[in-house]
Amino acid sequence: MAEINENYLKLKAGYLFPEISKRVKLFTESNPGKKVIRLGIGDVTLPLPPSIVNAMKLASEEMGTSSGFKGYGPEQGYSFLIEEIIKNDYKPLGITLSQDEIFVSDGSKCDTGNIQEIFAVDSKIAVTDPVYPVYVDTNVMAGRTGESGVDGRYSGLVYLSCTKENGFQPDFPKEKVDLIYLCYPNNPTGTTITKSRLKEWVDYAKKNNSIILYDAAYEAFISEPNVPRSIFEIDGAKEVAMEFRSFSKTAGFTGTRCAFIVIPKELNGISSNGEKVSINQLWNRRHTTKFNGVSYPIQKAAAACYSDSGKKEVRDNILYYMENAKIIREGISKNGYEVYGGVNAPYIWLKTPKSMTSWDFFDALLNKVQVVGTPGSGFGPSGEGYFRLSAFGKREDVIEAVSKIGTLSF
Ligand code: MLT
């Protein structure tokens, strides 16, 4: 028999979201007819905006003509989309990028999961805790960790705790690390970072020859001024960071799939013989070998997010979700919960009442009022005692969930 990659056996149970779905499925099977409100996984619920649908339709029709048909496209993405990304997402921030510094892909989950492949197996990795589980699990799969301990942490990984005690701001690693995953606005805590703190991270990375893997998938939800939208707003960041962006939450592409990574040419790694190696070129090699590009209609749809009508429609959807976030934040805190996030991010992070464990609170909410959220401990040990509610639900469901949670006493 073929021997398996034993690193997979180190993984804890199932991936967080399928695990939640499994529990919800069990509940619905034994309680048929009971309406369950899902504010767990951050999956959008509004339909795709009309400008995007229209662009997708036109592009599909074009593909059905002999003059408009396209086979394989450029693996890195069509220039019509990359141009729009640079012009709309980066130029207004004073950031100059060239087309070959952007790699269009089918999602930030894949990108943040795959990126570790181009780094050494013995790279030291730092993650915030709680954290988007993909960063951890993919490094476990690659063999960069030992087993997980009783504290729920994998040996070999450096965890940077983010709790209310430190304002959800991680301290710098106490030991030298090679790669640091940062996500702002943060999933799951919904909190943000200041420009001055981000500058300190860039300086830290420079001093320690580390690379920051900056996940900015929720950038479009920033509502306050002076919150950095891109790590490249910080001087010197191009030498130490790459950035992940996605159309998933921004424009409702969770089922449509389109994202991109920005890898500046200034960013280098080092080979074992001490030579500098361009991370951009390394990723280009990986991307063109393992990926054949996002389909033409989907890239046309993504480009339509930057048209005048597309921009407005996308913004309207974001405002809708952020109004949901406000309803959850205010409604839940009126009921005495300690609440964080939800101002510059579509996630509300709350402290469980009476020090309940995150999964106990999950079960209580599911069984008593049929509201599904995400247990904080599923994002890492420092998430224990916290719970995440997503603002991506339908308005009426969000209002109902808040009012039902308000009926509970613990
Ligand atoms: C989440 O709920 O954290 C996200 O939806 C997960 C994802 O984007 O893969």
pLDDT per position in the chain (410 positions), as tens?
Answer: 999 999 999 998 667 888 899 999 999 999 999 999 999 999 999 999 999 999 999 999 999 999 999 999 999 999 999 999 999 999 999 999 999 999 999 999 999 999 999 999 999 999 999 999 999 999 999 999 999 988 889 999 999 999 999 999 999 999 999 999 999 999 999 999 999 999 999 999 999 999 999 999 999 999 999 999 999 999 999 999 999 999 999 999 999 999 999 999 999 999 999 999 999 999 999 999 999 999 999 999 999 999 999 999 999 999 999 999 999 999 999 999 999 999 999 999 999 999 999 999 999 999 999 999 999 999 999 999 999 999 999 999 999 999 999 999 98
**Residues 6+ away with beta carbon under 8 Å from 191:** 162, 167, 168, 169, 185, 340, 341, 345, 349
* pTM for the whole structure: 0.97
Q: Is 243 helix (H, G, I), strand (E, B) or coil?
A: strand
Q: Which of 288, 244, 243, 304 minimizes the C-alpha distance to 107?
A: 244
Which residues have a Cβ under 8 Å from the Cβ of 107 and sit 6 or more positions away?
246, 248, 257, 258, 259
Backbone angles phi, psi at 387, to 5 degrees: -150, 140
Q: How far is the CA of 39 from the centre of ligand 1 (A)?
A: 11
Residue with tokens 């080979």, as numbered in its chain: 271
Residue nearest atom 9 in ligand 1 by C-alpha distance = 109
Task: Please answer whether residues 378 and 16 qualify as being in contact, where contact means their C-beta atoms are separated by less than 8 angstroms.
Answer: yes
Alpha-carbon distance of 42 to 39, in angstroms, equals 7
Separation of CA 273 and ligand 1 centre (Å):
39
Pocket test residue of 16, 41, 181, 372 for ligand 1, highest count of atoms within 8 A of CB = 41
Pocket residues: Cβ below 6 A from ligand 1: 41-43, 109, 132, 187
The alpha carbon of 1 and the centre of ligand 1 are apart by a number of angstroms equal to 35
Would you tell me how many other CB atoms lie within 10 Å of the CB of residue 299?
24
